[in-house]
Amino acid sequence: MRYLVHAEQRQFSLRDKDAWRPGDGGWTDEAVSAHRVAVEPSSLSVATARSDWVEVDVSVGASAPPVLPDASHVVEADLDVPDGEATLAGPAGYARQEHRIAVPPGRYRVRVSYVESGPPDAEWHDHEFGEHFRYVLDLWPSAGAAPVAVLREGPGVWDG
Protein backbone atom coordinates (compact mmCIF):
# COMPACT_ATOMS: atom_id res chain seq x y z
CA MET A 1 0.00 0.00 0.00
CA ARG A 2 1.25 3.50 -0.77
CA TYR A 3 1.39 6.13 1.97
CA LEU A 4 2.24 9.82 1.99
CA VAL A 5 4.57 10.72 4.88
CA HIS A 6 5.93 14.08 5.96
CA ALA A 7 9.66 13.35 6.26
CA GLU A 8 10.73 16.49 8.05
CA GLN A 9 14.36 16.39 9.20
CA ARG A 10 14.96 14.08 6.20
CA GLN A 11 13.60 10.94 7.81
CA PHE A 12 10.57 8.86 8.67
CA SER A 13 10.12 5.73 10.76
CA LEU A 14 8.32 2.41 10.78
CA ARG A 15 7.96 1.15 14.35
CA ASP A 16 5.91 -0.93 16.71
CA LYS A 17 3.03 1.23 17.91
CA ASP A 18 4.38 1.23 21.46
CA ALA A 19 8.04 1.80 20.58
CA TRP A 20 9.93 4.85 21.75
CA ARG A 21 9.45 7.82 19.46
CA PRO A 22 12.37 8.20 17.02
CA GLY A 23 15.07 10.75 17.69
CA ASP A 24 18.84 10.75 17.50
CA GLY A 25 19.20 7.17 18.73
CA GLY A 26 20.36 4.71 16.13
CA TRP A 27 21.94 7.31 13.82
CA THR A 28 25.52 6.11 14.10
CA ASP A 29 28.18 7.29 11.64
CA GLU A 30 27.74 4.06 9.70
CA ALA A 31 23.94 4.40 9.70
CA VAL A 32 24.25 7.90 8.21
CA SER A 33 27.06 7.29 5.71
CA ALA A 34 26.34 3.76 4.48
CA HIS A 35 23.11 2.23 5.71
CA ARG A 36 20.80 5.25 5.50
CA VAL A 37 18.63 3.55 8.11
CA ALA A 38 18.82 3.73 11.90
CA VAL A 39 17.81 0.70 13.93
CA GLU A 40 16.50 0.89 17.47
CA PRO A 41 14.44 -1.59 19.49
CA SER A 42 11.17 -2.03 17.58
CA SER A 43 11.92 1.02 15.40
CA LEU A 44 13.47 1.55 11.99
CA SER A 45 14.15 5.11 10.79
CA VAL A 46 14.78 5.76 7.10
CA ALA A 47 16.86 8.70 5.86
CA THR A 48 15.29 10.57 2.95
CA ALA A 49 16.83 12.69 0.23
CA ARG A 50 14.43 15.54 1.01
CA SER A 51 12.83 17.13 4.05
CA ASP A 52 9.41 17.04 2.44
CA TRP A 53 6.41 14.88 1.66
CA VAL A 54 7.53 11.47 0.40
CA GLU A 55 5.78 8.41 -0.97
CA VAL A 56 6.31 5.19 0.96
CA ASP A 57 5.14 1.80 -0.28
CA VAL A 58 4.75 -0.87 2.41
CA SER A 59 4.05 -4.54 1.74
CA VAL A 60 4.14 -7.62 3.95
CA GLY A 61 4.91 -10.99 2.37
CA ALA A 62 5.73 -14.54 3.38
CA SER A 63 9.32 -14.34 2.12
CA ALA A 64 11.87 -11.93 0.66
CA PRO A 65 10.82 -10.54 -2.71
CA PRO A 66 13.31 -10.00 -5.56
CA VAL A 67 15.45 -6.87 -5.27
CA LEU A 68 13.92 -4.07 -7.33
CA PRO A 69 16.10 -3.57 -10.42
CA ASP A 70 15.43 0.19 -10.53
CA ALA A 71 16.33 0.84 -6.88
CA SER A 72 19.46 2.96 -6.50
CA HIS A 73 20.04 2.05 -2.82
CA VAL A 74 18.83 -1.10 -1.06
CA VAL A 75 19.35 -2.00 2.60
CA GLU A 76 17.88 -4.61 4.94
CA ALA A 77 17.40 -4.49 8.70
CA ASP A 78 15.35 -6.18 11.42
CA LEU A 79 12.20 -4.82 13.02
CA ASP A 80 10.33 -6.33 15.97
CA VAL A 81 6.59 -5.71 16.03
CA PRO A 82 5.48 -7.54 19.18
CA ASP A 83 2.10 -5.80 19.36
CA GLY A 84 1.04 -6.58 15.79
CA GLU A 85 0.60 -2.95 14.79
CA ALA A 86 3.24 -0.77 13.18
CA THR A 87 3.09 2.98 12.70
CA LEU A 88 4.58 4.90 9.81
CA ALA A 89 5.30 8.58 10.42
CA GLY A 90 7.77 11.44 10.23
CA PRO A 91 9.78 12.32 13.38
CA ALA A 92 7.40 15.10 14.38
CA GLY A 93 4.30 13.20 13.23
CA TYR A 94 1.29 13.74 15.40
CA ALA A 95 -1.10 10.89 16.20
CA ARG A 96 -3.49 11.97 13.44
CA GLN A 97 -0.63 11.87 10.87
CA GLU A 98 0.55 8.35 11.71
CA HIS A 99 -0.41 5.55 9.39
CA ARG A 100 -1.27 2.37 11.27
CA ILE A 101 -0.36 -0.94 9.64
CA ALA A 102 -1.62 -4.25 11.05
CA VAL A 103 0.87 -7.14 10.83
CA PRO A 104 1.05 -10.48 12.64
CA PRO A 105 3.12 -9.99 15.83
CA GLY A 106 6.75 -10.99 15.47
CA ARG A 107 10.18 -10.20 14.04
CA TYR A 108 10.47 -8.97 10.45
CA ARG A 109 13.25 -8.39 7.99
CA VAL A 110 12.64 -5.07 6.26
CA ARG A 111 14.12 -4.23 2.87
CA VAL A 112 14.24 -0.50 2.17
CA SER A 113 14.61 0.38 -1.51
CA TYR A 114 15.21 3.91 -2.78
CA VAL A 115 13.50 4.22 -6.16
CA GLU A 116 13.94 7.44 -8.14
CA SER A 117 10.60 9.08 -8.92
CA GLY A 118 8.93 12.35 -9.63
CA PRO A 119 7.29 14.54 -6.99
CA PRO A 120 4.66 12.84 -4.80
CA ASP A 121 0.97 13.19 -5.44
CA ALA A 122 0.75 15.97 -2.85
CA GLU A 123 1.62 19.62 -2.40
CA TRP A 124 5.37 19.19 -2.11
CA HIS A 125 7.74 22.00 -1.19
CA ASP A 126 9.62 23.36 -4.20
CA HIS A 127 11.97 25.31 -1.90
CA GLU A 128 13.39 22.04 -0.50
CA PHE A 129 16.43 20.59 -2.22
CA GLY A 130 17.17 16.95 -2.97
CA GLU A 131 15.97 14.30 -5.36
CA HIS A 132 12.52 12.74 -5.22
CA PHE A 133 12.45 9.07 -4.28
CA ARG A 134 9.73 6.56 -3.57
CA TYR A 135 10.72 4.51 -0.53
CA VAL A 136 9.67 0.86 -0.85
CA LEU A 137 9.53 -1.11 2.42
CA ASP A 138 9.12 -4.88 1.99
CA LEU A 139 8.58 -6.86 5.20
CA TRP A 140 8.68 -10.61 5.72
CA PRO A 141 8.90 -12.80 8.83
CA SER A 142 12.38 -13.46 10.19
CA ALA A 143 13.27 -16.29 12.55
CA GLY A 144 16.46 -14.78 13.96
CA ALA A 145 18.34 -11.54 14.32
CA ALA A 146 20.53 -10.40 11.43
CA PRO A 147 22.78 -7.35 11.04
CA VAL A 148 21.96 -4.41 8.82
CA ALA A 149 23.02 -5.27 5.27
CA VAL A 150 23.51 -2.93 2.31
CA LEU A 151 22.55 -4.89 -0.80
CA ARG A 152 23.13 -2.02 -3.21
CA GLU A 153 24.85 1.25 -2.36
CA GLY A 154 23.74 3.85 -4.81
CA PRO A 155 25.25 7.24 -5.48
CA GLY A 156 23.30 10.44 -5.31
CA VAL A 157 20.84 9.75 -2.52
CA TRP A 158 22.16 12.71 -0.55
CA ASP A 159 22.67 15.10 -3.50
CA GLY A 160 20.68 18.28 -3.32
- pTM of structure: 0.90
Q: What is the DSSP secondary structure assignment for residue 29, as one 8-state letter?
A: H
User: Which of 20, 26, 18, 22 has the alpha carbon at shortest distance from 9?
Assistant: 22
Does residue 59 contact residue 138 with C-beta atoms inside 8 Å?
yes
In the prediction, which pLDDT does 159 show?
A: 44
State the chain's mean pLDDT as an integer.
88
Q: Please tell me which residue, 97 or 109, carries the higher pLDDT value.
A: 109
Residues 6 or more apart whose CB falls under 8 angstroms from that of 100 comprise 17, 85, 86, 87
> Percent helix, strand, coil in the chain (nearest 5)?
10, 45, 45
For residues 7 and 48, give the distance between their C-alpha atoms in angstroms, rounded to a whole number: 7
Task: Give the pLDDT of residue 59.
Answer: 97
Whether the pLDDT of residue 112 is over 60: the answer is yes
Given a cut of 90, is residue 141 above it in pLDDT? yes
Most confident range, picked from 37-41, 63-67, 94-98: 63-67
| Residues 136, 19: Cα–Cα separation, whole Å | 22
Report the pLDDT value the prediction gives residue 97, as an integer from 0 to 100.
75
Could you give the strand order of the β-sheet that contains 149-152, starting from the edge strand earlier in sequence? 2-6, 53-60, 133-141, 106-116, 71-81, 149-152
**Worst-scoring range by mean pLDDT, 42-51, 120-129, 132-141, 142-151?**
120-129
Helix segments in 5-158, DSSP class H: 29-30
Res 93 pLDDT > 80: no
| pLDDT tier for residue 123 given thresholds of 50, 70 and 90 | confident
- Note the pLDDT tens digit of each residue in 60-92: 999 999 999 999 999 999 999 999 999 999 987
- Give the integer Cα–Cα distance in Å for 1 and 137: 10
User: Rounded mean pLDDT of 18-23?
Assistant: 64
